[in-house]
Structure 1
């Protein structure tokens, strides 16, 4: 959930003929605040998911299995957003299609700098006896976000899928396709690689390709393709029903752990509601209330939140392990505090580290 996943898109309104026309405002194109708010929501439920998982080891745990599991759907929302924004930012102006090399370079300077900083902090902490479960060996693949058996940061498995999708998208850009051709070709390529994985011997790469969750990127692509030429209008009751479906899915879908649902069921139970939520968020062009403006701010910091909250989770787990008194408390308040602290820290990191660093690297590349 990186790169364009955290880049504010702009939307265009379709004309009656289906051609793109800019809306009549001073900026020419509208910023979609709703997507940033949805990013914030997705990031927060992922943090809540991990906090609830940690709390289940405490004597005062309150978290039922279905509640701890449902927050994992934030990843599915991010994957759909990623495909959607990729299509929208690339094809809203068909006369200015980005070159594949520039496309990958832009994504790389958004993905790697903060990720490498976080990896360095994990490795440094490991040298002082923390992160004991970390297996040191073969660091190049996880640092480059290539499929790897050992990860430096646990949540980086989603970033590896992001890079996989970006590489496929960049390859398809070589022939300068239309938006329809891009959505079709990416879907076919990802689906063929998924099917091909069943013929491969068991390996890290085989297990990586053998995840239908990659099709959620394609769902986002097709939604983006539709939004380029049509006005998307989703009733609020559909969005509300989608959230209920996401939360309720673990109750009805058998699953072995709280880390998520089984692969195929996950795409159906969480992927489809995620598409509907993204479609609904498009209608919110501006953040007008204080809460929505904060949602936009937190959405902008969602990548920082996603990468840095594992440090807070490690501290929370250590406190529960070392303090019987705190562990015996009802964990509702501690979980809420962990979420709030994670959000505040991520906002500071975004505005004082991630954003300036990305801007500086972008400036260097432009020169």
Structure 2
């Protein structure tokens, strides 16, 4: 375990929560003290997650069978995700429609049919790519020759993205951020590596200053229409930030605990913010109050979910499934 990256996971999740809280405030009562262009830096939390995911896959996968790897990752990701999705479905049902595409995207995390549709939890569009990553790693663990097939599939799908949603999904440029995470894990630490962290932070702030951060919606991120720009202005800084953070010596602490709860935070906060939005419409408050309450309530709620639901659920399932799953958990 690279403990500094565990802390960075919490920071990345908090960045996303902050952006979504600002967006919620903007819809209800306007922009607060933080300019919206600066708040968009929070979207880089997703890119940081993708790079970290590549690092983690490159670290935990070697020496495991494909079955051990995929079992451990599904156990870590799917149960709490499905539970949160059940809570989110009533919110989606209030919207224009809840059709078979939404159900397919939610249950299978496959968003591409005749058109692109995000899962019930909007931010879970990133999990669609995580599942794609896990499948790719499992295939390579089965036979390394799959690596060349996967590279060919990605390259071909990228060139054929104009054909439709399946090609847009499989050839999405954001996949390169996962690949970058694998590569920097292979590179390892170097003497000047820590300098990449402040460099990456400065690059993000410059992107906000020059107003070049893409501002889209979940289905647009899935199609990848803005993702070449996203990889350039958010992905490259994310790579620098993750690589620099890898050089920080860290140990177990309250911050690594919060990092462990970051997945719950990522899943819970959209549901909580949607519920709070109803309250704020009925009882209007200023945007700064909305952002502050939204962030703190999301963190507190996610800690409760992590401690009382996520951890016991995973522990119970590990005991139930097999001893192999326990040794394969990450």
* TM-score bucket (shorter structure): 0.7 to 0.9
User: C-alpha displacement at 1:335, in angstroms?
Assistant: 0.5
User: C-alpha displacement at 1:235, in angstroms?
Assistant: 5.5
Q: Which residue of structure 1 aligns with residue 100 of structure 2?
A: 137
How do 1:84-163 and structure 2 match up within 5 A?
84-91=55-62, 97-124=63-90, 131-133=94-96, 135-138=98-101, 139-148=103-112, 149-150=116-117, 151-163=119-131
Q: 1:252 aligns with which of 196, 207, 210?
A: 210
The separation in 2 between residues aligned to 1:299 and 1:90, in whole angstroms, is 21
Query: SS of 1:35's equivalent?
Result: helix
TM-score by length of 1: 0.77
User: C-alpha displacement at 1:298, in angstroms?
Assistant: 1.2
Do 1:100 and 1:173's aligned partners in 2 also have CA atoms closer than 8 Å? Answer: yes
Q: Which residue of structure 1 aligns with residue 300 of structure 2?
A: 344
User: C-alpha displacement at 1:246, in angstroms?
Assistant: 1.5
1:77 and 2:48 matched: yes
Q: 1:122 to 1:79 in 2, by over 3 A?
A: same
User: C-alpha displacement at 1:143, in angstroms?
Assistant: 0.6
Number of residue-to-residue matches in the alignment: 311
Do 1:232 and 1:282's aligned partners in 2 also have CA atoms closer than 8 Å? Answer: no
Q: Which residue of structure 1 aligns with residue 230 of structure 2?
A: 266
Q: 1:75 to 1:246 in 2, by over 3 A?
A: same
Q: Which residue of structure 2 aligns with residue 66 of structure 1?
A: 37
For structure 2, the 5+ residue unaligned runs are 324-330
How do 1:27-42 and structure 2 match up within 5 A?
32-42=2-12
For structure 1, the 5+ residue unaligned runs are 1-8, 10-31, 92-96
Which is further off, 34-43 or 54-63? 54-63
How do 1:1-367 and structure 2 match up within 5 A?
9=1, 32-62=2-32, 63-91=34-62, 97-124=63-90, 131-133=94-96, 135-138=98-101, 139-148=103-112, 149-150=116-117, 151-175=119-143, 177=144, 185=147, 189-190=150-151, 192-199=153-160, 202-227=163-188, 231-234=189-192, 236-252=194-210, 254=212, 257=215, 259=217, 262-287=226-251, 293-323=253-283, 325-326=284-285, 329=286, 331-367=287-323
Q: 1:264 to 1:86 in 2, by over 3 A?
A: same
Do 1:190 and 1:215's aligned partners in 2 also have CA atoms closer than 8 Å? Answer: no
The separation in 2 between residues aligned to 1:253 and 1:168, in whole angstroms, is 35
Deviation per CA, 1:122-178: give whole Å up to 9, x if none. Answer: 225566xxx435523341342111124332111111000000011111111112x5x
Do 1:234 and 1:279's aligned partners in 2 also have CA atoms closer than 8 Å? Answer: no
The separation in 2 between residues aligned to 1:268 and 1:80, in whole angstroms, is 14
Whose Rg is larger? 1
Q: 1:202 to 1:171 in 2, by over 3 A?
A: same
The separation in 2 between residues aligned to 1:191 and 1:52, in whole angstroms, is 40
Which is further off, 196-205 or 266-275? 196-205
User: C-alpha displacement at 1:189, in angstroms?
Assistant: 2.5
Do 2:85 and 2:121's aligned partners in 1 also have CA atoms closer than 8 Å? Answer: yes
The separation in 1 between residues aligned to 2:178 and 2:48, in whole angstroms, is 10
Structure with higher helix content: 2
